[in-house]
Structure 1
């Protein structure tokens, strides 16, 4: 009796469920449609001309002996070359690995030694930093390429490297859907960045997830206000979903509210992606100058909780269709707030409505991971760890099996984020396990205190960490960025003492006014850096009471 032989389909699937194949279909289907716009130079590439640029780079890399499986690290702002590299790497079977352009020389050296790229492409103004990184690193990439018109005496310019290269398609590879295509590095909220290897399945499902639940289509014109190098950039309004879909993406080199609004007006942007602080600045600028942003049909906020007051202003001033996403570099988007949730559910991280993930909140133990079915109560009070089972992540870290052992258990990824949830499944993030502060034996979660302090009209941002205390174990220290320099410590303490959500044991003992907080590219506060800083500040005697 004949039975279904799945091997034929498996073979076809494994060779063809490939991101770059979908891009090439779009080149055939939408040859003359605009794919990419460089907002700074007002230059446009159709899908056909974009493919020519990609082929020039792909053929240049092959000519210089870059092979399938080689790693191409690139440290760029949002410039067209970013998209060229992202696609060309995949055409030749190499691994594209974008990294943060704000990294120090030591951090760059660490990644070079970790990934051992054969090619390193960087923004020309970073030339001196890259030189220092190469002095520090054991691994030296064979090919160094700089992007931009600025003077750089290291390596070869991108334009020179791709000059007079063949525009035709490079020889097609035998692609494999399981092969690593993108390697991202974590944003570093807890320390050194970790490599996250994404295969074609992860890449495609990440794109499909965002396309489906944001309702994107090929007519959309997408602007990501944040850098492309991270998960919320490359896979949210960046090259990933935009070019997979056949839409148009706009490259804005660096963010400024004025520039962003001009771009939205000029290019009729339909969807933006950014962090809450960016949207605050957009709203302030729009109130002053009233750009024509009527084309905007959606805006997604990520990286931090979206508070109610900002959400209401976004709906009134930018677009009625506001989304808020919560996720991790490892698993992509896990929970979402959609327009019908807002503003009522603002401040929460939303609930799991994604297509390729399950989300739970489980109990927290000091010496082990909870079982996936050890759920906390859905009462919005009991705090637990957020865990995910997702097809958009790799369940691994590059070169770090010990990290995988800490985070992956029985098909679930343990995020380290602490949250409560309610009967409908809406999560409220309260802290990270590493950020929890223990005062007098009681667990204190910084986020609740930070959000309350940030309600003061003269406060822009706040981060709370612990400092050793002989009597109570730890004492709370609040680092505050003022929106209005007239804010005094006495005024702030009075506000906190009267705040209904800050009980006496949660009031900071010490205060420091700072110009800025250490942040990741996705707008997440780096508490671990403040935990290092607060010990020095305590010794220097600059903590105010």
Structure 2
């Protein structure tokens, strides 16, 4: 196989021929190649620990189980270019599938386990995976999702107990062939192969597919290794789900298996479990959202543990406020850092521990290999990357980034792709300022997305569900400030005449309705309601979410909302 670009050969600046180097780079510098090296380079070191059972796998054993999984999936018909989808919590099987898919030269595709059946069905219908592995406890939702998708993946497997398995579904262990060859990078693989397909939410609220190449995997790992810094002797625990780009790729399996570190799984966040693990297992890094740190600090103040093994705590998903940062540095560890980014390009700015508390609330400077700019915003076009706002910490523009960690595409979504990617730059829709030191502070979003506990909630999707209730005439969904979750989803509802007259009973009824919806994940439902007679619209008939967002902040302070 050859990857030599004739144009690049023709445009060389000297007579040196880099063809031999390019062959090595493009075929041996893959993520799968890195994992294969570590199965013998660090054969006797621990690769992953099941935080629930305490079971450990060395890198040699990681090679054995993922090699067996490659053989098992291949035996069931999965191969080059196929989608290996899985909807799992942070558990060893997630990590095994992530690696094994690359050994098949297939595409690893983790899915949010919090999705509603209609959202899962949307992904299954569009991706048509060859393999789908799910939580046994979620079989009822998976059954509904497959019915809505009108498509059944050829290979179905579940992890954990499943009292009512789907037809044809097998326990995960049956996918692994005992005694198969250890994990190997696949024949014919290259750094340009699509190796992962992640999902984010678009303007419709339904997930968008984000492709990543093997080179994206490698360069993301490199970025984290340098930023933390992370080495083979580190032990990490993610408090955020691995299906997030900021989970698996932020010192989760992606980074840890690349550098030879140890990962300890945490299926569900519990501050007591995390703190006990730091003290007992000598964890060096824990990673999560600021909401996780708030609960860690509460638990540590209630019952102190020895956290001296920590080299740092890294957060993503929301900025750190000054008072919170000071508290976390005092109670947990002085080494607090914060990253800002997207599913499409991972993190692109990084706020280092040395930047705190002075720059608390900011997103930090551009990461090592990235270019970041804050550009002017126009109604009819996107700004050129050179058309920047003043570096005065006050002028507001859109933050954009150019990163080797991005695949610069959405799968089968040319319209959204054209909106977000321009000439090698990503325009994510966030508004920000920057100062003379190029420290970026994100102040809001061009759209109206609510970010609650690090999760994106699009108001239109929630409004569409509420509109399905017979007693609802209209609604606006937005976010209100919340000390624990950053933002909480709130709904302003216009009832139909003579309906929903009792606010308490009405809030409970709408909460039940949202919980029962197959189109809305439960974490997206409103937590507070206010019943009003009218809502603000523009002259062209568009809802003015920003008006209600401002109102929501006041209404929270005044206690004007009703909680279900």
TM class by shorter chain equals: 0.7 to 0.9
1:211 maps onto 2:205 in alignment: no
Aligned counterparts of 2:183 and 2:433: Cα–Cα separation in 1:
52
1:235 maps onto 2:249 in alignment: yes
After superposing on structure 2, the runs of 4+ consecutive aligned residues of structure 1 that deviate more than 6 Å are 463-467, 474-478, 512-516, 532-536, 540-543
1:373 maps onto 2:386 in alignment: yes
Q: Deviations over 1:467-515 (max 9, x none)?
A: 9xxxxxx9997746588xxxxxxxxxxxxxxxxxxxxxxxxxxxx9999
Q: What corresponds to 2:187 in structure 1?
A: 173
Aligned counterparts of 1:253 and 1:187: Cα–Cα separation in 2:
23
Q: Deviations over 1:47-70 (max 9, x none)?
A: 001111111111101111111110
CA contact (8 A) 1:224 1:272 kept: yes
> Do the aligned partners of residues 475 and 99 (structure 1) sit closer, same or farther apart at CA in structure 2, a change above 3 Å counting?
closer
Q: What corresponds to 2:326 in structure 1?
A: 312
Aligned counterparts of 1:464 and 1:117: Cα–Cα separation in 2:
26
Aligned counterparts of 2:229 and 2:56: Cα–Cα separation in 1:
25
CA contact (8 A) 2:297 2:328 kept: yes
Aligned to 1:372, the other structure's residue is in SS state: coil
1:400 maps onto 2:417 in alignment: no
> Do the aligned partners of residues 253 and 188 (structure 1) sit closer, same or farther apart at CA in structure 2, a change above 3 Å counting?
farther
Aligned to 1:82, the other structure's residue is in SS state: helix
Q: What corresponds to 1:77 in structure 2?
A: 89
Selected match of 1:34 from 12, 30, 46: 46
The within-5 A match list for 1:318-397 is 318-352=332-366, 354-397=367-410
Q: State the 1:394 CA deviation.
A: 0.6
Q: State the 1:355 CA deviation.
A: 1.9
Aligned to 1:24, the other structure's residue is in SS state: helix
Q: Deviations over 1:420-445 (max 9, x none)?
A: 11111111111111129xxxxxxxxx
1:295 maps onto 2:289 in alignment: no
> Do the aligned partners of residues 64 and 4 (structure 1) sit closer, same or farther apart at CA in structure 2, a change above 3 Å counting?
same
CA contact (8 A) 1:326 1:334 kept: yes
Q: State the 1:536 CA deviation.
A: 8.6
Aligned to 1:185, the other structure's residue is in SS state: strand
1:104 maps onto 2:116 in alignment: yes
Aligned to 2:211, the other structure's residue is in SS state: strand
Identify unmatched segments of 5+ residues in structure 1. Answer: 437-445, 451-460, 468-473, 484-511, 517-525
Aligned counterparts of 1:14 and 1:533: Cα–Cα separation in 2:
50
Q: What corresponds to 1:226 in structure 2?
A: 240
1:151 maps onto 2:163 in alignment: yes
CA contact (8 A) 1:60 1:165 kept: no
Stretch of structure 1 that moved more, 141-150 or 97-106 = 141-150
Q: State the 1:368 CA deviation.
A: 1.2
Q: State the 1:193 CA deviation.
A: 1.5
Aligned counterparts of 1:303 and 1:372: Cα–Cα separation in 2:
24
CA contact (8 A) 1:320 1:339 kept: yes
Q: State the 1:8 CA deviation.
A: 2.6
> Do the aligned partners of residues 382 and 465 (structure 1) sit closer, same or farther apart at CA in structure 2, a change above 3 Å counting?
farther
Q: State the 1:7 CA deviation.
A: 2.6
Q: State the 1:534 CA deviation.
A: 9.3
Q: What corresponds to 2:36 in structure 1?
A: 24
1:433 maps onto 2:446 in alignment: yes
1:184 maps onto 2:198 in alignment: yes
Q: State the 1:139 CA deviation.
A: 3.0
Aligned to 1:435, the other structure's residue is in SS state: coil
> Do the aligned partners of residues 365 and 169 (structure 1) sit closer, same or farther apart at CA in structure 2, a change above 3 Å counting?
closer
Q: State the 1:9 CA deviation.
A: 2.2
1:261 maps onto 2:255 in alignment: no
Aligned counterparts of 2:156 and 2:355: Cα–Cα separation in 1:
48
Aligned counterparts of 2:246 and 2:72: Cα–Cα separation in 1:
29
CA contact (8 A) 1:73 1:119 kept: yes
Stretch of structure 1 that moved more, 360-369 or 169-178 = 169-178
CA contact (8 A) 2:365 2:438 kept: yes
CA contact (8 A) 1:482 1:513 kept: no
Q: State the 1:196 CA deviation.
A: 0.7
Q: State the 1:302 CA deviation.
A: 0.9
Aligned counterparts of 2:359 and 2:240: Cα–Cα separation in 1:
24
Q: What corresponds to 1:508 in structure 2?
A: none
Aligned to 1:240, the other structure's residue is in SS state: helix
Selected match of 1:54 from 60, 66, 70: 66
Identify unmatched segments of 5+ residues in structure 2. Answer: 1-12, 464-474, 485-505, 512-520, 536-551
Q: How well do the aligned residues superpose, as a CA RMSD in angstroms?
A: 3.3
CA contact (8 A) 1:187 1:230 kept: no
Selected match of 2:131 from 95, 119, 122: 119
> Do the aligned partners of residues 306 and 2 (structure 1) sit closer, same or farther apart at CA in structure 2, a change above 3 Å counting?
closer
Q: What corresponds to 2:207 in structure 1?
A: 193
Q: What corresponds to 1:283 in structure 2?
A: 297
Stretch of structure 1 that moved more, 401-410 or 324-333 = 401-410
Stretch of structure 1 that moved more, 67-76 or 423-432 = 423-432
